[in-house]
Structures are given as structure tokens and as C-alpha cells.
């Protein structure tokens, strides 16, 4: 199955028809990547994604294959070829032996429905831990195993459990637990810190919401008032259950955080548009 969802894609700065897209350029060798949400054809939190890409490259000892200006121009050029403007974009730096390539392409978005925001989604526990959580590197084997479990058990997201029986993060999201008006989330060095998580933490500081940085033991899940994920596609999305433990949805605090996050996302779109016009 071709991962490229659009009509065109960018390979090393050049535009190509999607029929020429080769999945091996993403899944063979080592790939460092970012998934960026486009809203009205504009990348949300562009600078934050570029900073995390730079951090991942540094952690992996890899060099950048394109500067941020090239990436910006590539995104704008690609978006102009598409009618669909609210979609996800994937940026990949691939290192395969002596071969290096960078790709920019659209991927099929999986956004929560209004009903899922109202009623919450099902979470599953999955015993696994990322080898290098501070770098956004494709792990095809782990991703496939999790995907199969989600399909078999009808789950939306898998919560990763380490050898100590504690939850670190989601398979494609960060996780927050609400207990007695305190938010609990894993320490930065235990997870891949998401852009959405970063802004949720900013909002908490701005509004005086107490945050505790620790990994939640699975045994403590029944004592939580609410559990929610943060990520590029779901933004802020509550769980109605994790395994056989149920939670009341919607909880007021996560809903308020989602509203405030959307406001910050809109600010980032305005900033990107103003910067592009100034160039």
C-alpha cells in the first residue's frame, strides 16, 4: 500500500507524481520523521516541529538533509497541488547506507469524530518501551504489533507499559492522567515529547493547573478521574475506558484544555502566514 495520500510528493526538493512514490525510501534503513497537521493548507506549529526534527537528528548523530527554508518552500509547493487543505503531512529524512533522501508527502488523516470527542475512546495496555524515546524514529516492527492488537480488540490507542508496570506514553500520543485536580504525565526523559503536549503544559502553567511528572502505575488507573491523550491528530482526546476500567466523559478540564490548545494552534497559523508573506 502506497503511504503517499496526495497526488504529488516531494523527493529531495523535486515534485513527483504519487505513482512514483516508493515506500522503501521510508521503511528501509533509518528514518527520522515529523507528522505535521495542516489546517487550511497551513502547517500547525511549524517551528516546533522543525526544532524537534533537529533534536532527533542530533540524538541520532545524523545530519540534516534540508534546511528549514527548503522544507517551508516544499510544503507550500506541495499544498498548492492539492484541493484538500485539512490533512496531515509527513516529513522524512531517510538514511540507508550511502543513500540519503528526504521526502515531504501527505498521509491519510485519522481525526477523531465529534462523537469520539463527546463519548471518549477505548485504550488498551501494551507492554513495550521505546528504545530511544527522545528521537522520532520509525519502528516498523513495534508499530505493526500495536496496530494488530488495536484492530483485534477494537481499541483507538495503546498505552505503553514498561518493565516496572508503569505507563510511559501512547503508541502515537502522550498521555495525561487527572487525579484530584492534578495532572500527571511521564517525565520528559521517558517519552517522545509531543508538540501538543508541550502546549498543554504551557497552558497549565498559564492557568495555574498543577502538573506532576511521574509514570502512572497500571495499578493506580482505577483511582484516576480522567485520562486523555494528546497528539497531532487527536489534539486532546479523552478515554472512556482503558481495558476494563471506565471513566466519565466528558470531563471539564480536558475539554477546556482542548479549547485553549486550538486557540494556540490558530496563533501559530497566523504566525506562519505572516512570516511567509514577509519572505
Tell me the CATH number of domain 8-107, given options 2.40.170.20, 3.40.50.300, 3.30.470.10, 3.40.50.261: 3.30.470.10
The pLDDT tens digits for 182-233 are 999 999 999 988 999 999 999 999 999 999 999 999 999 999 999 999 999 9
Q: Which residue, 140, 142, 174, 181, is CA-closest to 157? A: 174
**Residue 257: exposed, middle, or buried by beta-carbon count in 10 A (0-12, 13-18, 19+)?**
buried
DSSP annotation string for 145-202:
HHHHHHHHHT-SEEEEE-TTSEEEEESSSEEEEEETTEEEE--GGGS---HHHHHHHH
- Average pLDDT of span 79-102: 96
pLDDT for 100-132, tens place per residue? 999 999 998 889 999 999 999 999 999 987 776
Q: What is the pLDDT of residue 140?
A: 73
For residues 6 and 109, the answer to whether their CB atoms sit within 8 Å is no
- The answer to which of 142-146, 202-206, 259-263 has the lowest mean pLDDT is 142-146
- Residue-range domain boundaries for the chain: 8-107, 114-265
Mean residue pLDDT of the chain comes to 94
- CATH superfamily of the domain spanning 114-265: D-amino Acid Aminotransferase, subunit A, domain 2 (3.20.10.10)
pLDDT higher than threshold 70 for residue 136? no
Kindly report, residue by residue over 266-278, the tens digit of the pLDDT.
999 999 999 988 8
pTM: 0.92
Domain 8-107 shares a fold with domain 114-265: no
Is 135's pLDDT higher than 80? no
Q: What is the pLDDT of residue 17?
A: 97
Amino acid at each position: 500500500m502506497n503511504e503517499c495520500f496526495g497526488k504529488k510528493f516531494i523527493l529531495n526538493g523535486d515534485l513527483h507524481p504519487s505513482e512514483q512514490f516508493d515506500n522503501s525510501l521510508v521503511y528501509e534503513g533509518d528514518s527520522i520523521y515529523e507528522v505535521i497537521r495542516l489546517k487550511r493548507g497551513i502547517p500547525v506549529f511549524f517551528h516546533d516541529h522543525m526544532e524537534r526534527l533537529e533534536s532527533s537528528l542530533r540524538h541520532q548523530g545524523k545530519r540534516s538533509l534540508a534546511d528549514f527554508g527548503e522544507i517551508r518552500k516544499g510544503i507550500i509547493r506541495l499544498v498548492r497541488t492539492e484541493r484538500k487543505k485539512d490533512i496531515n503531512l509527513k516529513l522524512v529524512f531517510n538514511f540507508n547506507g550511502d543513500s540519503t533522501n528526504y521526502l515531504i508527502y501527505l498521509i491519510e488523516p485519522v481525526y477523531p469524530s465529534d462523537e469520539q470527542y463527546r463519548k471518549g475512546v477505548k485504550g488498551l495496555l501494551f507492554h513495550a518501551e521505546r528504545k530511544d524515546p527522545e528521537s522520532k524514529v520509525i519502528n516498523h516492527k513495534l508499530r505493526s504489533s500495536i496496530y494488530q492488537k488495536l484492530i483485534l480488540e477494537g481499541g483507538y490507542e495503546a498505552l505503553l507499559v514498561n518493565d516496572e508496570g508503569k505507563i510511559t506514553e501512547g503508541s502515537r500520543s502522550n498521555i495525561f492522567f487527572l487525579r484530584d485536580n492534578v495532572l500527571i504525565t511521564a517525565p520528559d526523559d521517558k517519552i517522545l515529547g509531543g508538540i501538543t503536549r508541550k502546549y498543554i503544559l504551557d497552558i497549565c502553567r498559564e492557568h495555574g493547573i498543577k502538573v506532576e511528572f511521574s509514570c502512572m502505575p497500571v495499578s493506580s488507573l482505577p483511582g484516576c478521574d480522567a485520562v486523555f491523550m494528546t497528539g497531532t491528530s487527536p489534539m486532546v482526546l479523552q478515554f472512556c475506558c482503558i481495558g476494563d476500567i471506565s471513566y466519565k466523559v466528558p470531563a471539564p478540564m480536558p475539554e477546556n484544555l482542548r479549547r485553549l490548545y486550538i486557540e494556540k494552534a490558530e496563533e501559530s497559523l497566523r504566525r506562519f502566514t505572516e512570516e511567509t508573506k514577509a519572505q
